[in-house]
Amino acid sequence: MKTIRQILDDKGRDYWHVGPGSTVYEAVRLMADREIGSVLVMEGDVLKGILTERDYARKVVLEGLSSPELPVERIMSTNVLYARPDQSVDECMALMTDKRVRHLPVIEAGAVVGIVSIGDMVKAVIDEQQFIIEQLEQYIAG
């Protein structure tokens, strides 16, 4: 099974972030422009939280708040689950499923080195299954 490091090597280590004082509107605009479902909230190199589409829907839309003036720090999730590069896809997929999160920042030596999504996990599982199928087909075919 692939590790998170291998996933990042394949997809890249780029991640998008905003500061805690950025407006929710700015964060949502960034997510829309980049076609992503979350942004990390960073203060310098320090991870302070994560803002997801779910946070926006539940904490802004349903509460009738106004995103153009609302700072991200008021609605971001601060209890951020994360992955380590040496963890397996299976471990992270189990964590994401159990805790019902779709994005995990990847942290190594206290620094953010990337982010993975549930879609990345599913793709890795499918790729591995396809590889096994091809190997079995070759074995059977002789």
What is the pLDDT at residue 108? Answer: 98
Domain 4-141 has CATH 3.10.580.10: yes
What global pTM score does this model have? 0.89
Could you state, in order of their start, the residue ranges of all structural domains in the chain? Answer: 4-141
- Single out the residue of 97, 56, 62, 63 nearest to residue 77, CA to CA: 56
Number of neighbours of residue 24 by Cβ within 10 angstroms? 25
Determine the 3-state secondary structure of 52 from DSSP.
Answer: strand
Give bridge partners of residue 28 from the DSSP assignment.
none
Give bridge partners of residue 30 from the DSSP assignment.
none
Distance between CA atoms of residues 62 and 60, nearest Å: 6
pLDDT digits (tens, 9 = 90+) for 8-17: 999 999 999 9
pLDDT digits (tens, 9 = 90+) for 59-116: 998 888 888 999 999 999 999 999 999 999 999 999 999 999 999 999 999 999 999 9
- What distances in angstroms separate CA 96 from CA 15, 27, 86, one per listed residue? 18, 23, 16
